[in-house]
Chain A
Amino acid sequence: MIELKNVNKNYEVNKNNIVNALQNINISIQEGELFVLKGASGSGKSTVLSLIAALSKPTSGEVIVDAKQISKLPDNFASEYRRDNIGFIFQKYNLIPTLSVSENILLPLVPLNLPAQEAQQKLQRVMKMFDISHKAEAVVKNLSGGEQQRVAIARANVNDPKIIIADEPTANLDERLSLSFIEILKELKALKKTIVIATHDPLFFNLDCVDREIELHKGNILS
């Protein structure tokens, strides 16, 4: 399903300072797997997620998703691929704080210009699924952290993507909310979604539902 082959990624901070974020990484993730990337911050977890989501391109190597070379997609096609296949849950939720819940959830659909009815169906489905319908018209910045995360998850799922990517999903949550997030993960897994999570939260370690774990350190996989 997802394959990283000999991937290198360098960040150019300035001319004389090039950071090697990833070094010759090979990862293969199967369809329907719940895959966890462990490691301290700066270990390259987020970079891997970015590459899978085609948010950035590898300096060398290939990223193949669904037999498709996403590392060479032109920008517009990368966006299309992201929109249709990836649901991204960010650490800081990355919601637009001045918009309402429903507006935030609908954002990925805006460029599609769907008929109003179809868009509403999709919206209602995810709001119900992640239990945020009661706050549909509330402005996001007035919501609690947990609610905001549910909005973010709803947004990630509004297009019914095959792959869910989560970057430090529990970093800003207390334990109770973290546990309920894991419940949501289980639900998503039941829907046969491929899930990739980057985290250093020990809560995820040795979890039943986690199929595989990899630990990254300074851009290298620790076996």
Chain B
Amino acid sequence: MILTPEVLAIFILNTIFAFFATIAFVLSVKIFLHWNIKSVSQSQYKLEKQSYLSATIIKYIFAIKVPLFLFFIFTLDKISKVITGAMCGAGVVDATPYGTYLLILKVINLYVFAYWLMLNSVDMKNEEQPYTKLKFGIYIIAFFLLMGELVLEGVMFNSIDIDKMVSCCGTIYSSTASSYISNIFSIDTGMLLFLFYGTYVLIMLFALLKNKYLFSIANLFFIIISIIAIIVFFGTYIYQLPTHHCPFCFLQKDYYYVGYLIYIFLFLGTFYGVIVAFIDAKKEQMQRDTKISLVFNTLLVLLLSAYPLIYYIKNGVWL
């Protein structure tokens, strides 16, 4: 058990989340079952009002969750200093069997909540409110994901044993290790880079062709390929070490916290890219989303490419 003020703060906020998320959940179930936009009954008016409360709660949770996610990563980094063997968040994530799932769940939840908000904003712009049932249906699923995250977070912090030694990121993300992560190192770097830049070009192309489905799928693929490319290739240039692949260390001060920037770009770029296919928005909004997606994806590609390029210019060789 590790109970630093940071962890306590996360727990307190989680309690608040759980409390409000439950209220929103109850209301969402009611809305999901009884919503009828055509009805003029009192109960429909009431549901309509309650939908505002649910939406407000969900907005609140998302608004706090985003900075809290960064705070969470920051806290992991801080805790890593008291755990033997861990040098960055990766060690803490690896310290318990729950860490990896928690992190994945957190990222999924960010995407789901952001998607919900987009859906909500489109829905509220239409007099017919065509997505109301859908969005509250999605929230019912999101609620369980969120609760899963909160429980997992509690369990994870609860089971961190300061005295137990953990692996450092150098071991977890190494091509010689036999963990499942090391499988990605079997991908040929040239192939990987081809995929990375190729996907980026495809995204641009589909944006030009205005095919939102292909655009969305390309973005979905871009999330995965980017993370792998960062671990296998770009990370080594950020660290200027051919053998260091950790996707956590560059969140630290020694690397000017560049990791936060990378992940924010990646999230915004791919999120706006993916949702265009999932939301039947007006044309202007779709164009806007596409534009945002392109801007952030481009920023990401530029930022990541700058590291090897600068390295090459400075040293005259590739790593």
Mask, B150-169, CB within 8 Å of A = 1, is 00000000000000000000
* Majority secondary structure of chain A interface residues (helix, strand, loop or mixed): mixed
The answer to the question of A76 belonging to the interface, with a C-beta cut-off of 8 Å to chain B, is yes
The answer to whether A58 has its CB under 8 Å from any CB of chain B is yes
Q: Does B49 have its Cβ within 8 Å of any Cβ on chain A? A: yes
Asked if residues B127 and A73 are in contact (CB atoms below 8 Å), the reply is yes
Q: A121 at interface (Cβ–Cβ under 8 A)?
A: no
Once bound together, how far apart are the Cα atoms of A74 and B129, in whole Å? 8
- B23 interface residue (CB < 8 Å to A): no
Interfacial chain A residues near B37, Cβ < 8 Å: 72, 74
Q: Which residues of B contact A77 (CB under 8 A)?
A: 127
Please give me the residue from chain B that is nearest to A10 by CB atom. B42
For A, the interface residue count at a CB cutoff of 8 angstroms equals 11
B94 within 8 A of A: no
Residue of B nearest to A60 (CB): B40
Find the residue from B38, B40, B45, B129 having the highest chain A CB count within 10 A: B40
Which of B45, B48, B127 gathers the greatest number of chain A CB atoms within 10 Å? B127
B45 to chain A: closest residue by CB: A57
Q: Which residues of B contact A59 (CB under 8 A)?
A: 40
A147: shortest Cβ distance to chain B, in Å? 37
Quote the shortest CB–CB distance from B183 to chain A (angstroms): 50
Interface residues of A in 10-58 (CB under 8 A from B): 57-58
Q: Are B49 and A75 in contact (CB under 8 A)?
A: yes
For B124, give the chain A residue with the smallest CB separation.
A76
Partner of B38, one of A57, A60, A72: A72
A42 vs B48: C-alpha distance in the bound complex, in angstroms? 29
Contact A74 B48 (CB under 8 A): yes
Contact A58 B40 (CB under 8 A): yes
Minimum CB–CB distance from A1 to chain B (whole Å) comes to: 20
A149 sits at the interface (CB 8 A): no
- Please name 14 further chain A to chain B contacts, defined as beta carbons within 8 Å, in addition to the given A59-B40, A76-B124, sorted by A numbering: A57-B40, A57-B45, A58-B40, A60-B40, A71-B40, A72-B37, A72-B40, A73-B127, A74-B37, A74-B48, A74-B129, A75-B49, A75-B52, A77-B127
**Chain B interface residues (CB < 8 Å from chain A):** 37-38, 40, 45, 48-49, 52, 124, 127, 129
